[in-house]
Structures are given as C-alpha cells and as structure tokens.
Amino acid sequence: MSRWRKKPVVVEAWQTDHELVVETLEGPLKASPGDFIITGVKGEVYPCKPDIFAATYEAADEPEQPPLSRDEERTLESFDYHKPSDEQVERIATVRRTCKAAAHALILTVQPCADRTVALRKLHEAMMNANKAIVCEESRARP
C-alpha cells in the first residue's frame, strides 16, 4: 500500500455551539456542539469532529497586507464610531432641524416625481455628511 500526504490547502471553518444538520455532497449529516463546519476548496460544506480537525488542520497565516498610506488610514477611520461631544450633539441637532425644514418645504412645493425623490435623498445625504463632518472634525485636525 502506498502512503499519501494531504496537499496543503486553506479552508474556512467555524465551530458550532449547537446541534445542526449540514447539507453535504453525500447528503445531510448531523453536526454536534463543538464540531467544526468546514467549507472546502470547491465550496462543499461538511462537519468535522474536533479531534480530527485538530489533527488535520492548523491555523493559516493571513496574507501580509501592504502598509496603508495616511489617507487610506483616515478612510478606514471614517468607518469607526465617533461619539459626539455634547456641543457636537447640539450642532448636529441644528443641522437636522434645518435639513428637515428644507425637506418639508420640498414636499410642500414640489409635486411627487423622480426628481423630488432624488432631491430628498440628496438632502438626507448632505445632512448625514454634515453630521459626520461635525463629529469627525477633531480627528481630522490631528496631523
């Protein structure tokens, strides 16, 4: 009998904390709490007992990411939550009231149509961007 070594492939897996049925290529299989659910290289899904998983798999290194520019770092920071100060909350409220009044004026004076819908959406977008600018201004002031 010949001996064979498994090729090093990277798969995705997660450990379940409850019993579930996994639809595999061979049909439905039951997974127990603690089993790993693996997505194979061709997208196939199957359960694996923890001891078999530990003997067969090891953590794959994440690919090294190139360093980010300062602009790219700031872009990513814009997705973080920025809690507004009390003073900023007041300014945000002013922007919201002003934009709501403008939206009310549009609704009262422009007949319903696609352009009115676009105008209201753009007004809402402008309000959100203004609020973000208020909250993020302190982080932008940093070098």
Sequence spans of domains, the chain? 12-56, 70-141
How wide is the angle at C-alpha 113 spanned by C-alphas 109 and 114, nearest 5°?
125
Q: What is the pLDDT of residue 120?
A: 96
Q: What is the pLDDT of residue 142?
A: 46
- Reading phi first (left if > 0) and then psi (alpha if -120 to 50, else beta), residue 20 is in beta
Answer yes or no: pTM beyond 0.75: no
Digit-by-digit pLDDT tens for the chain (143 residues) are 888 887 788 888 999 999 999 998 899 999 999 999 999 888 899 999 999 999 998 888 777 778 889 898 888 887 888 888 899 999 999 999 999 999 999 999 999 999 999 999 999 999 999 998 998 876 555 44
Q: What is the pLDDT of residue 79?
A: 81
d(CA 138, CA 107): 35
Q: What is the pLDDT of residue 68?
A: 85
Q: What is the pLDDT of residue 27?
A: 92
Residues 6+ apart with CB under 8 A from 99: 123, 124, 126, 127, 130
